[in-house]
Amino acid sequence: MIDIHYSDEVAEARAKGAPLVALESTIITHGMPFPQNVETARRVEQAVRAGGATPATIAVIDGRLHVGLSDPQLLALGQAQNVMKLSRADMAACLASGQTGATTVAATMIAARLAGIEVFATGGIGGVHRGAETSFDISADLHELAQTPVTVIAAGAKAILDLPKTLEVLETLGVPVIAYGQDELPAFWSRQSGLKAPLRMDSPAEIAAAHRMRGALDLPGGQLVANPIPTEAEIPSDVLAPHIAKALAEAEAQGIAAKAVTPFLLQRIFELTHGASLEANIVLVLNNARLGAAIAVELVR
């Protein structure tokens, strides 16, 4: 079994059986610019603590798996260049070769399970990209949700993706997609996607009970909780659509592929919206951290 390095607060929470919420690090290294990335990471950790749970930000630093980062580690990661973006495929190689890598949704789920953490809050999961019928670009996050028993709170899948295809793949993989407090699947920066979510729940207790029931059924895999961005922070989808279209066209023209696609699109949409997309992203992650804490609290009840 791998030697995991726990932060003091995470070690203490584990010893007491106190609620924990895993947090990812790719959003810090590849999802947001410095210094907003570090600021947001700190605020997200605070939101988890305010909700009565302990935050466990996950990353690989110099070949060691860290569950819970110190503030200097968070700051260093937020400024580091050439950090690997780790998914299921490359996590072991990064650890074995002593490198530094940020964990995506998939890799964070793997680490959370090893650490016994059942709840993980992020911004938006990866999904099926537009044009996937020719590019085959489908995020490994979807397959991870099918096999690793962690409940993931996101604001839906990013609107840069093909959301109907993402829902289809999740259905095929047997992943419960639960809209929180509304019928419609939220679309990251917007509350509405025009698509009905397969499931709806209105309380953290219901989500915790469904998580437990999957365990009782001995089903592998987790749950996706799609938590809509707060109304006051959302960017209506018709405002966003032209910017997404432009960013996608640029990615295509520049031959952006594989792991570089999502960071490229997020950065271009940030520029095209003059920072508005980042503002919304920050609000939705904080909102997800609060819901994650509430679910984690219910799970230990």
Active site residues: 24, 158
Residue 144 touches Mn ion, criterion: CB under 5 A: no
- Residue with smaller CB distance to Mn ion, 45 or 137: 137
Residue 90 touches Mn ion, criterion: CB under 5 A: no
Q: How many binding residues for Mn ion (CB under 5 A)?
A: 1
Q: Which residues bind ligand PSU (CB under 6 A)?
A: 24, 26-27, 30-31, 104-105, 122-124, 126, 139, 141, 259, 262, 266, 281, 285
d(CA 39, CA 142): 28
Q: How far is the CB of 9 from ligand PSU (least distance, A)?
A: 23
* Candidate residues 45, 90, 118, 137; the one interacting with Mn ion per rule CB under 5 A: 137
Going by C-alpha positions, the residue among 65, 90, 73 that lies closest to residue 28 is: 73
Q: How far is the CB of 137 from Mn ion (least distance, A)?
A: 4
Tell me the CA distances in angstroms from 82 to 20, 36, 139, one per residue in order: 29, 18, 21
Q: For 43-93, give the DSSP string.
A: HHHHHHHHTTSEEEEEEEETTEEEES--HHHHHHHHH-SS-EEE-TTTHHH
Residue 162 touches Mn ion, criterion: CB under 5 A: no
Q: How far is the CB of 182 from ligand PSU (least distance, A)?
A: 20
Per-residue x/- mask for Mn ion, residues 93 to 132, rule CB under 5 A?
----------------------------------------
Evaluate whether 187 touches 193 at the Cβ level (below 8 Å): yes
DSSP β-ladder status, 64-67 and 151-154: unpaired
Evaluate whether 60 touches 103 at the Cβ level (below 8 Å): yes
Evaluate whether 127 touches 160 at the Cβ level (below 8 Å): no
Residue 234 touches Mn ion, criterion: CB under 5 A: no
Residues that bind Mn ion (CB under 5 A): 137
